[in-house]
Amino acid sequence: MAKQGARRPETPGRRGRVSRKAKIVAATETLLRERGLAGVTTRAIAETVPCSEGAIYVHFHDRLELLLALLADASPEMREPLHKLDHQVGESTPVKNLAAAAAGLQRFHDRVIPMLCALMMDQELRQRFTKSLQQQGKGPQRGIATLARYIEREQDLGRVAADVDARAAAAAIMAGSFFEAFTAQLFGSTRRMNPKPTVKHAIALMLRDTMK
């Protein structure tokens, strides 16, 4: 299948053991990150798990299913911090709340960058992947909408300036996270944007917050 990478934080199967499916996803994500798309084959996955090549097909029929499994596994890194924003309106400060959400975005982007780069090299697979996301109503627009909704609700409370473009600020937070993850991996840097103070100051500028 020359299949492609995904890695799940290992989820327990029966009696607390990690399921074979989770191990396959973990192996494919590791191989994708270390060897690229060309190095992610059923043989390599089977050797890494270890399992038979046939066992892979029990869970995944093709590359697309493996990629979607990786995305589904990485999504909580982003989704959970974003969902917390709905319960943080009026609490702490908007800058601190958004910085925590941005940290989750960075963890998510750090995991999916290798997959997205691999997709750009395979037009047919990329089109199928994009179509699948569109059919499910998924994509960065959902995260941006969540961030914008939070900022707008804080504007209603007077904690964010009324003339701030909530959607533009939300898109900038999302784009900044992606750019940081991409450049860090491109140049082999282990340095990440630190929500204290880099991300906080960037968000404060967008929200016109003095951070006093």
Please check whether residue 39 is in contact with residue 100, taking contact to mean a CB–CB distance below 8 angstroms.
no
- Only one residue has tokens 């951070």, namely 211
pLDDT at 70 (0 to 100): 86
Model's pTM, two decimal places?
0.81
Q: How many CB atoms lie within 10 A of CB 181?
A: 22
CA dist 193 → 79, 118, 179 (Å):
19, 24, 10
**DSSP letter assigned to residue 197:** I
Write out pLDDT tens, residues 33-82: 888 888 888 899 999 999 999 999 999 998 789 888 988 999 999 999 99
Greatest CA span in the chain, whole angstroms? 60
Compute the 3-state secondary structure of the chain and give helix, strand, coil in percent, each to the nearest 5. 70, 0, 30
Write out pLDDT tens, residues 150-188: 999 999 999 999 999 999 999 999 999 999 889 888 887
Write out pLDDT tens, residues 9-21: 444 555 556 799 9
